[in-house]
């Protein structure tokens, strides 16, 4: 991260003894000292408007759009121009991101690797992704490049009021919609987790703006209030 | 290397105990088993027509052309189209390539890193360079991608008679020219090493074809024979 000028690292639910002893490379101690720490991925990406998941997708059929890393720049640039905040999310080395982690991502990026040896070392995957972002997106011309990694890395454009809804907005919508489905007896309680998963995916696929999110939220609050009367 | 489909690894003068115990990542054991081993970098790149050195150049003014990694593809493609063999050379993690190693390179490639943290981990630098070659050069469309790394990695186009002189041709020229300078009392013996260094650099900057190299060799052999008569 320091090699490519990224500085915002968030670590999600780290294994305590390892985290306490984590040491940075020479010259990158600020990055590790300033790292944020959260208990969930949802918290880590709460203020982000574009959440990009990474990983090898060989064994699963992804539910989101998958973009090859060399083709990622235009999507990143669009978000930067809008004034959005971008998170790049990496899973633990051995098992990668879970299906529920991926449901919090707007899109997935895949490093094009040889099919005979698709799975990369985590540190090398991070280096390759950040090299691509630092050299082929508008980040490369920005005066300051910032970033967070977790099991997530997150890069930020100069702060400005974003047009896209951030993850926190989407979570709020999802909660109210979920409560409404429950109040309306929409589906059996056993289906609640699966429905929420589909809802998370849907809300991200829609690429809502903040006004969209506010409007949907208002509508569902109204419905919920009526249902509970 | 296996992640990006490269398979020709040459290790130069490895530290014996480490080399004997070297283990590959899961799935890449062939790569390590088939690795070549040489005593010198000159041997490792002998059959290559384009030798590309890597490293951080912060503390030295390089004597060759330096190309930023994102701009390397056109030069690589030109060489591949000519049917050349390309070597990508990495130095040991701590000190990088020496000045004499660099004199065997036609050009140097630099990964654009943050000036506050320019020096990269070796494995990450290799991953970033091979990602770039695999995704943005003609190698990416070739059916087979081959490569060697050393303290050197080396990628090969489909074998065909190359137009460019290979490193072995250039070394032969350098030896005969050096012998000629000596026979002609061109400069004091103390200068011999420095002269050879400059000669190595010059021969690579000229980008000689094989016929060029043969012609120069013939001329200097003739001069040498006359001088020694």
Q: What is the pLDDT of residues B175-190, one digit of tens each?
A: 988 888 888 887 777 7
The alpha carbon dihedral of B206, B210, B214, B217 has a sign of positive
CATH code of B104's domain:
3.40.1280.10
Residue B4 lies in a domain: no
Residue A161 lies in a domain: no
Decide if B3 and A123 are in contact by the 8 Å CB cutoff. no
Same domain (yes/no): A37, A84 = yes
Of B156, B178, B197, which one is at a domain's C-terminal end?
B156
Same domain (yes/no): A77, A176 = no
The per-residue pLDDT for B22 is 81
B contacts of A5 (beta carbons < 8 Å): 114, 116-117
Same domain (yes/no): A13, A119 = yes
Per residue in B8-58, pLDDT (tens digit) is: 999 999 988 888 888 777 777 888 888 999 999 999 999 999 999 998 666
Mutant choice from A118, A124, A130, A141 vs B, greatest count of B C-beta within 10 A: A124
Per residue in B70-90, pLDDT (tens digit) is: 999 999 998 888 888 999 999
The alpha carbon dihedral of A104, B4, B99, B109 has a sign of negative
Residue B2 lies in a domain: no
To the nearest 10°, the Cα dihedral for A108, A113, A115, A117? -110
B contacts of A55 (beta carbons < 8 Å): none
Q: Is B142 on the interface with A (CB under 8 A)?
A: no
Global pTM? 0.75
Same domain (yes/no): A195, A140 = no
B15 burial (CB, 10 Å; 0-12 / 13-18 / 19+) is exposed
d(CA A11, CA A38): 6
Decide if B124 and A27 are in contact by the 8 Å CB cutoff. no
Same domain (yes/no): A134, A177 = no
- The answer to whether B84 and B49 are in contact (CB under 8 A) is yes
Same domain (yes/no): A125, A46 = yes
Residue A3 lies in a domain: no
B217: three-class secondary structure by DSSP: helix
The per-residue pLDDT for B198 is 85
- Structural domain range at position B140: 10-156
- Residue A157 confidence (pLDDT) above 50: no
Same domain (yes/no): B109, B149 = yes
Of B132, B156, B180, which one is at a domain's C-terminal end?
B156
Same domain (yes/no): B55, B77 = yes
The residue of chain B nearest to residue A131, with distances taken between CA atoms, is B128
- Residue B163 confidence (pLDDT) above 80: no
Residues 6+ apart with CB under 8 A from A158: A83, A142, A144
Residue A122 lies in a domain: yes
Per residue in A209-221, pLDDT (tens digit) is: 888 888 888 888 8
What band does A58 get if pLDDT is binned at 50, 70 and 90? low
Cα atoms in the Cβ-side hemisphere of radius 13 Å centred on B224: 16
B contacts of A117 (beta carbons < 8 Å): 2-3, 27-28
Decide if B123 and A120 are in contact by the 8 Å CB cutoff. no
Per residue in B179-220, pLDDT (tens digit) is: 888 888 877 777 888 888 888 888 888 888 888 888 888 888
Same domain (yes/no): B150, B214 = no
The residue of chain A nearest to residue B143, with distances taken between CA atoms, is A114
Residue A75 lies in a domain: yes
Decide if A2 and B111 are in contact by the 8 Å CB cutoff. no
Same domain (yes/no): A136, A37 = yes
The residue of chain A nearest to residue B146, with distances taken between CA atoms, is A114
Of A125, A156, A187, which one is at a domain's C-terminal end?
A156
Same domain (yes/no): A105, A204 = no
Decide if A69 and B123 are in contact by the 8 Å CB cutoff. no
Residue A4 lies in a domain: no
Decide if B134 and A121 are in contact by the 8 Å CB cutoff. no
Nearest by CB to A131, from B3, B111, B134: name it: B111
Residue B61 lies in a domain: yes
Q: Mind giving me the DSSP string for B97-151?
A: --HHHHTT-SEEEE----TTS-PPPHHHHHHHHHHHHHHHSGGGGSS--EEEETT
Burial B90-111 (b: 16+ CB within 10 A, else e): bbeeeebbeeebbbbbbbbbbb
d(CA B150, CA B36): 9
- Radius of gyration, CA atoms only, chain B: 18
Q: How far is A3 from chain B (nearest CA, A)?
A: 5
Query: How many CB atoms are closer than 10 A to CB B143?
Result: 5
Domains held by chain A: number: 2
Same domain (yes/no): A46, A75 = yes
Decide if A128 and B131 are in contact by the 8 Å CB cutoff. yes
Q: A15, A30, A14: which is closest to A147 by C-alpha?
A: A30
Nearest by CB to B117, from A28, A118, A124: name it: A28
| Mean pLDDT (whole number) for A43-50 | 94
- Token code pair at residue B14: 């490895």
The per-residue pLDDT for A22 is 81
């Amino acid at each position: 991260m320091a090699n490519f000028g990224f500085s915002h690292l968030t670590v999600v639910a780290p294994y305590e003894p390892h985290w306490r002893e984590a040491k940075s490379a020479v010259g990158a101690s600020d990055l590790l000292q300033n790292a944020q720490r959260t208990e969930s991925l949802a918290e880590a990406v709460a203020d982000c408007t574009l959440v990009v998941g990474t990983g090898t997708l060989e064994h699963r059929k992804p539910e989101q759009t998958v973009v090859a890393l060399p083709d990622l720049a235009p999507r990143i640039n669009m978000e930067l121009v809008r004034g959005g905040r971008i998170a790049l999310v990496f899973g633990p080395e051995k098992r990668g991101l879970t299906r529920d982690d991926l449901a919090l991502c707007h899109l997935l990026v895949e490093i094009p690797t040889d099919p005979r040896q698709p799975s990369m070392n985590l540190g090398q995957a991070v280096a390759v992704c950040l090299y691509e972002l630092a050299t082929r997106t508008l980040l490369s011309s920005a005066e300051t490049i910032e970033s967070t990694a977790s099991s997530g890395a997150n890069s930020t454009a100069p702060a400005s009021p974003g047009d896209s809804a951030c993850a926190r907005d989407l979570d709020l919508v999802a909660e109210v919609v979920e409560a409404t489905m429950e109040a309306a007896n929409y589906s059996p309680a056993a289906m609640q987790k699966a429905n929420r998963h589909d809802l998370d995916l849907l809300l991200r696929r829609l690429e809502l703006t903040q006004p969209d999110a506010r409007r949907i939220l208002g509508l569902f609050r109204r419905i919920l209030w009526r249902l509970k009367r």
